Each structure stands twice: as C-alpha cells, then as structure tokens.
A and B are shown apart, each in its own frame.
Chain A
Amino acid sequence: MSARAIRLDELTKTFAPGGDPAVDRLTLDIPGGSIVALIGPSGCGKTTTLRMINRLIEPTSGRIEIGGVDVTHQPVTELRRDIGYVIQQVGLFPHRTVSANIATVPKTLGWSAAQIRDRIAELAALVGLDTDMLDRYPDELSGGQQQRVGVARALASDPPVLLMDEPFGAVDPIVRARLQDELLTLQERLHKTIVLVTHDIDEALKLADRIALLNVGGTLEQYATPDELLSAPANAFVETFVGEDRGVKRLQLSLVSQLAFDQGPVVPLETTPERARAVMAQYRSDWLGVLDDGVFVGWVPGEGVRDSVSLSDLPRYPPAGRVTPSSTLRNAMEVIMNSNTSVAVIDDDGAFGGVVTLEAIRGALGLSGVDPRTGASV
C-alpha cells in the first residue's frame, strides 16, 4: 500500500470546557513514508495528539487528513483498521495466543483462514519472532518479544499508517536499542507513515526523519529534521530540551560518507622521500601514511623520511582503527581519539577512502574554525 501523508490542521483539544487546551491549534505536515517523532515534556500533548489521529480522543476543533482525505468524521472503527497502533504497555490480549493476537484485525476484516495463516508466518519473520512462540500466551513471552508481537499485530492488515506511543519505553536499554534498529530496518522495507511519541530525545534523533518538539499546552516549538533541530534550535526552549551535548548528538547523525574526500598526508609507497616531505609539510603532519596499490598499509614516523631511504623500507605502524563510509562521525571521533596520528583512515571496501580529521568533523557540523594545517577557513 502506498505511503499516505498525514496533515494535522489547526488541531485543538480542550478536555475541560473553558479550560486550557492540551493541544493548541497544531498544524503539522507528516510526509508519507516518513517517521515523525512527537516529543516534549509531560503535559505537552504529544500522546493526546497521537490519539487524535486515530480518534481515540476526538479533537475539539481542527481537521485531520490522511492521504488527502478528511478523516475527522469518518466512522472510527473503519478509520482505525487502516491505522496500526502500538503502545508502551503493548496491550496484548492475555487470553489469546500470539497468533490469535496478530490475527485480530485480519479476522475483523473477514480474511480467509489460509490468508491469515500465511500473513502470521510472514509477520513473524518480519519482526523476528520464533514460530514456536506463536501458540503461546502473551504472559509466557519476555517484554521484548511481547513488543515484537505488538508491532506484528499492528502491521497485520498492512495499514499505511502506524502510530506508536512510547513503543520501546518498557523494555531495557539493550532490547530497546535492538528494537529501534529493527524498526529502522523494517521501515526501509515497508515505507509506512509512522508517527512516534517519545520522551527520549535520543530515540527521536535516532528514529525520526522529522521531529516535532511540543511545549506544555500543546504548542509547537520547532518542527525540523534531527540535524536542523540540533544545529539550529529555534529558541532557548528547544536548545535546553535537546541538551547541551548537541554537537556530540549530531556526530551520531552524520556519516563519514557525507564528508568531502580528504587525501590527508597519505602517499603511494613509490613516492620519493622529497615529495613525501613536501606532503607532510603541506598537512603539517609528523606522520606519513603509505598506500600499497591503493590499499592503506600503515603510518611511518615523519623523522624517518630521509633521502637515502625508500618509503617501503621504513618501519610501519598500523592505524589505531578504521572507519568505513557508513560509520558515524562519532565512530570516527572515537578512532581519532585513540590514534597517535589524530587521523582516522577510511576503509572503503578494502581500498583507501581518504581520512577523517577533527577539523573535517568540525567543518561538517558547521562550526567555524581555521584548518591548522592548510590555514584555510573551514
């Protein structure tokens, strides 16, 4: 099923008549096939907003459009069967087996027994559930397994939209990280439009394509990509909420492949010592990296580079660690910290892919500075 965009238009919820709104004229465009995180402090109306999308809470005013269709007045049971719903406490039916739980919506929709059986097998594989779990009752499963069943149940009829309310809040950090990774893998294949409520900024940064940061009273403070939110917080509230370690968090979001290619003080083994010294001077480096047929083979100390000795005869030291184009800048930073040469070497499928320096990382984060080696501003 094709991805459907969701549009919230001036959506407002006031619980007590005449009281303060829980969500206040919220307008939000959620692109089809993307993950949008709703985040904010307690009382910011993030869960209320989510529950208005499948109308478990009826909006006081405003409109909700899904795939261009106004669903504000559609019969709720119909609407909800097209929207997967995953909650923190999972809410599995304890009196039904895992299979029967997953089959809930397909059964309501009148699928045949064979269709349902095939779909259950497909979903079990998709969410990583052992088939011998299928005949058990939910109480016999661990928290992580229950959450997988919850996701499988929500995806059962292949709804274009998935709503997730703190889906990984009740499991331990290790399981949470794994389930988050699995959700991203799942999303690469499924392209659902996912709205996720979380109170964990790191979860939002990791999972979401866009983040809507709400403040108490349901007002939108900023709606932006994770990188924008970190690099250009709209105001002091956003800045405080995302935390003082914004720079470090951004490192986690950017990949080595996003940096411009940097050859670094690295030369082929055949290079003359004279030329090698010129390269080291250019990069103001005490070390020289050497390549053998395009493969990085090690660092040689700069003071050893003399006219009488060939580069290939010098003692070589292996790099402290390697990064790949798909490593995060944070991984690269880690390697740089552990390296005598203050440089991380990129290993692009065996071939030398350039180097990463602290300056390059600073540059990528848009932090102003002057490259100490080249004197150029970055």
Chain B
Amino acid sequence: MISSSRNPIVRWDYVVDQSDSILAALWQHLELTLLSVLVGLAVSAPLAALALRHRWTTSAITGFTGFLYTLPSVALFALLVPAFGLSRVSTIIPLASYTLLILVTNIIAGFRSVPESVIDAANGMGLTPARRVLSVQLPLAMPSIITGIRIATVSTVGLLTVAAIIGQGGLGRLILDGLRRTFWTPMTVGAVLSILLALALDGLILWLGRAATPWTRKASP
C-alpha cells in the first residue's frame, strides 16, 4: 500500500474530473455538521437551563450527556439504521448527542461565571428576569458558550467521516471509497478537505465570537 507512479497520493486529473462530486461531498459535510451542532444546541440549551435553575438536576444532566458521549459512534450509527434507515436522521442523532456534553457543560459554566454582583445590580435596577437573562447573563456567558460550540463543531467534522459506513458522511465517503479501492486520490482529498473544513469552521467561529464579545479584547488597566 504505497504510492507509485500509477497510484500517486493525488491524481489531479481525477480531482478535476470529479470536482462536482467532491464539492457535493464537501457541501454535505458542512451541512450535516452545522445541522448536528444546531440540533445539539437546541437540545443543550433547555438542559443547561434546567441544570442552572434547579441545581440538583445538574449531576443527572451531565451524567446523562456524559453517558451519551461514551457510546461508540459506529455502534450508535448502526443501531439507528433499523429505525431511521440510511438517512440524515440516523447521522444527525448520534452526532448531535455527542455535542451535548461539551455544549451543556460550557453553557452552564458560562452562566455560572457571571458575577453575582452583576446579577444583583441588574435585579436592583428593575430589569425583568427575561431581559436580565437575554441582555446581561447571555452575553457574559457567550465566551464560554462559543468555546463549546467550537469544540463541538470541530469534533463533529471529524466524527462525521465515520458516518460514511451508513452511506452518509460527506467527505467520509471519499475516504471510504479510496480505502476500498486502494486508490489514494479520493482518500487524500477527503482527508485533507475534512481537516481544512475543521480548521476553517474553528477559525470562523472564533472570529465571530470575538466580534460578538468586543469587551473581552480590551486589556485591563
């Protein structure tokens, strides 16, 4: 299994020839990643809210999301196929599940990092609870939440390649295809693009996060 003149690491003519399907795979990868993280966020937010409001639920919630995280991905993909077929649903459920631990933990940490005195002042000025949460606590929790989203997104990009075994998985299918045929080009293209995608999304979220939290960049006197 080494490269030769007939089977180099990358055959550019193949890349050009297959550019449509490569881009489609990249697009699917991006789409499934974002969907999984969004579903993960939609589920984590109420879980974190519950844990923050009723402290006694915290250990149950982090215990449950921690349990989900320990499940082997291949097994989870396989288990869902009888119920949902070789579909996006079978792909997104496990990937979203894996994001819960990091997202819930970081949302909780973010909200708990808001100084008590800030909340006290907000209440003392007559802010309604909803306004206090949205305009004071959420922005201040943002840096931690954004860190969570970054980690969740990057790990989802990686895990998604495994979903190729159930016929999904975007760039993972290129990798699987290359491995099956001992044809390095699709494998290399899939691997390199998934790495680049992870780096690009990480940078993008980092940048968006910084733009959304300008006060964190100001140095203390």
Interface contact A78-B126, CB-CB below 8 Å: yes
Interface SS of B by simple majority: helix
The answer for the CA separation of A150 and B140 in the assembled complex, in Å, is 19
Assuming the A-B contacts A87-B120, A142-B221, are A105 and B136 also in contact, with contact meaning beta carbons closer than 8 angstroms in the complex? no
- Does residue A104 face the partner (Cβ distance < 8 Å to B)? yes
- Does residue B213 face the partner (Cβ distance < 8 Å to A)? yes
B117 to chain A, nearest CB (A): 4
A residues near B219, Cβ cutoff 8 Å: 140
Interface contact A90-B117, CB-CB below 8 Å: yes
Assuming the A-B contacts A89-B117, A92-B118, A95-B139, are A54 and B215 also in contact, with contact meaning beta carbons closer than 8 angstroms in the complex? no
Assuming the A-B contacts A95-B139, A95-B213, A140-B218, are A80 and B118 also in contact, with contact meaning beta carbons closer than 8 angstroms in the complex? no
Assuming the A-B contacts A92-B118, A94-B118, are A87 and B124 also in contact, with contact meaning beta carbons closer than 8 angstroms in the complex? yes
- Does residue B179 face the partner (Cβ distance < 8 Å to A)? no
The answer for the CA separation of A154 and B125 in the assembled complex, in Å, is 8
Interface contact B121-A137, CB-CB below 8 Å: no
The answer for the CA separation of A95 and B140 in the assembled complex, in Å, is 7
The interface centre, meaning the residue of B119, B124, B128 with most chain A CB atoms within 10 A of its CB, is: B124
B residues near A76, Cβ cutoff 8 Å: 126
Partner of A77, one of B118, B127, B139: B127
B residues near A92, Cβ cutoff 8 Å: 118, 121
- Does residue B115 face the partner (Cβ distance < 8 Å to A)? yes
Interface contact A91-B121, CB-CB below 8 Å: yes
Interface contact A108-B127, CB-CB below 8 Å: yes
Question: Interface digits, B34-63 against A, CB 8 Å rule (1 contact, 0 not)?
Answer: 000000000000000000000000000000
- Does residue A139 face the partner (Cβ distance < 8 Å to B)? yes
Interface contact B126-A81, CB-CB below 8 Å: yes
The answer for the CA separation of A153 and B121 in the assembled complex, in Å, is 10
- Does residue B5 face the partner (Cβ distance < 8 Å to A)? no
- Does residue A141 face the partner (Cβ distance < 8 Å to B)? yes
In A126-182, the 8 Å CB interface with B consists of 136-137, 139-142, 150, 153-154, 163
A136 to chain B, nearest CB (A): 8
In A102-131, the 8 Å CB interface with B consists of 104-105, 108
Interface size on A, residues (CB 8 A): 33
The answer for the CA separation of A56 and B127 in the assembled complex, in Å, is 12
- Does residue B182 face the partner (Cβ distance < 8 Å to A)? no
Question: Interface digits, A26-55 against B, CB 8 Å rule (1 contact, 0 not)?
Answer: 000000000000000000000000000010
The interface centre, meaning the residue of B122, B125, B215 with most chain A CB atoms within 10 A of its CB, is: B125
B218 to chain A, nearest CB (A): 5
Q: Taking CB as reference atom, which chain B residue is nearest A109?
A: B126
In B124-141, the 8 Å CB interface with A consists of 124-128, 131, 136, 139-140
Question: Interface digits, A79-103 against B, CB 8 Å rule (1 contact, 0 not)?
Answer: 1110101011111111110000000
Interface contact A105-B125, CB-CB below 8 Å: yes
Interface contact A80-B125, CB-CB below 8 Å: yes
Interface contact A108-B126, CB-CB below 8 Å: yes
Q: Taking CB as reference atom, which chain B residue is nearest A90?
A: B117
Interface contact B115-A139, CB-CB below 8 Å: no
Assuming the A-B contacts A94-B140, A137-B218, are A81 and B125 also in contact, with contact meaning beta carbons closer than 8 angstroms in the complex? yes
Partner of B118, one of A93, A105, A137: A93
Taking beta carbons and an 8 Å cutoff, which residues of A are in contact with B?
54, 56, 76-81, 83, 85, 87-96, 104-105, 108, 136-137, 139-142, 150, 153-154, 163
Beyond contacts A104-B125, A105-B126: 13 other A-B pairs, Cβ-Cβ < 8 A, are A77-B127, A80-B126, A81-B125, A85-B124, A85-B125, A93-B118, A94-B215, A108-B126, A137-B215, A139-B218, A140-B218, A141-B221, A153-B125
A selection of 14 A-B contacts at a CB cut-off of 8 Å is A76-B126, A77-B127, A80-B125, A81-B126, A85-B124, A89-B115, A90-B117, A91-B121, A93-B136, A94-B140, A95-B140, A108-B127, A136-B218, A140-B221
